[in-house]
Amino acid sequence: MRKYRFVQVDVFTNRPFGGNQLAVFPEAEGIADTEMQAIAREMNFSETTFVLPPTDPDHDARVRIFTPGQELPMAGHPTVGTGFVLGAERGRADPGV
């Protein structure tokens, strides 16, 4: 059985269980497209993000965003929340903010 770590965050709030919930898979390499969709459906949050290695060497990461029903090309709160998680994990942000 493969295991993938995820982080659940509440975006646009300063308290737990407020704001917009988001699941972030910061190391999603190896998860197939169909699995990403199934995971998003299972999480049942408005969006779930999967962080992959960048395809452009000038970027730090590539992020895919899924709702329970489809992949999105872009969305606000998942982008902000994923950036927060990556910044905190990579020492580029204060996770207590």
| Active-site annotation holder among 35, 47, 71, 89 | 47
Tally of CA atoms within 13 A in the half-sphere of 55 that contains its CB: 3
Instruction: For residue 47, indicate whether it is catalytic.
Output: yes
Look at residues 22, 4, 5, 25 and name the one whose alpha carbon lies nearest to residue 13: 22
Cβ neighbours of residue 63 closer than 8 Å, sequence gap 6 or more: 49, 50, 51, 52, 78, 79, 82
Catalytic residue numbers read 47
